[in-house]
Amino acid sequence: MIILFVFICVSIFAPYIVPYEYDYMDGLPMQGPCEEHLLGTTNVGQDILSLVIWSTRSSLTVGLMTGLLTTCLAVIMGLTSGYFGSVTDDILSLIMNIFLVIPGLPLMIIIAAYIPVRGTGTIVMVLAFTGWAWGARVLRSQMLSLKNQEFVNASVVLGESSSHIIFKDIFPNMLSLIVANFFGSSLSAVLGEASLEFLGLGDVNANTWGTMLYWAQNNQALLLGQWQWMTVPGICIALLGTSFALMNFAVDEITNPKLRRK
């Protein structure tokens, strides 16, 4: 949580802590770390530290928004399929199975490559569209287990509506699993966004860590000694991913008595 909080603070207060504006290009090209540019400059004279700080906002937004959208899709599909069963379950399960069988990264690449409009919103939609099925399958299984419990049968006898039973009776008992799914989806989104941007399938003019990796690779940053141009955004991606992964493990440990430390 501390790691995530630091990135959130950096993204919020970026205009106040950044050394230079994101479009600053008055530095010497490929300048090494110095007093004016702590991480050096790019091939066009942009301050690398400033780019890392400005890119935090976009990359964090992609991770959180994709995690939220993916979780919403998983909840809707999984709970609907598990509760109503019958033909509804057969159709939705078929759709889930199709998305589970198709490899995620190749599907993301194909979709992103053929979408004419590129940008942060497009990346979020592509990642959410290709990443909801696993969470939906897990939630469906949990729904099948909970809908036969006595407290659910009592609500049915009382004549409560399906929406009331799903969201008032069953949903709170699945909250920990949904939260874990959110963090797992956010982790996948951070890595997926970086992969798509690195391959040039996003908006190459956007300010994200993945775009920084794309331009660093295209301009042979490692060969020219500008290792920080590529490694610093890579470390940020790894730290943010680690944050989501650790919080996911924590939720599992808190909600599952078998995983709690003695």
Number of H helices, E strands in the chain: 12, 0
Q: Is 39 in contact with 47 (CB distance < 8 Å)?
A: yes
Which range is most confident: 88-102, 110-124, 144-158? 88-102
In the chain, where are the structural domains located? 53-259
Tens digit of each residue's pLDDT (9 = 90 or more) over 186-242:
888 888 888 888 888 888 888 889 899 999 999 888 888 889 999 999 999 999 989
Per CATH, is 53-259 categorized as 1.20.58.220?
A: no
Name which of 56-65, 86-95, 124-133, 160-169 the model is least confident about.
Answer: 160-169
Closest listed residue to residue 81, CA positions, set 30, 24, 138: 138
Q: Is 196 in contact with 108 (CB distance < 8 Å)?
A: yes
The model carries a pTM of 0.84
Q: Which residues pair with 41 in a beta bridge?
A: 47
Tens digit of each residue's pLDDT (9 = 90 or more) over 45-85:
889 999 999 999 988 998 899 999 999 999 999 999 988 88
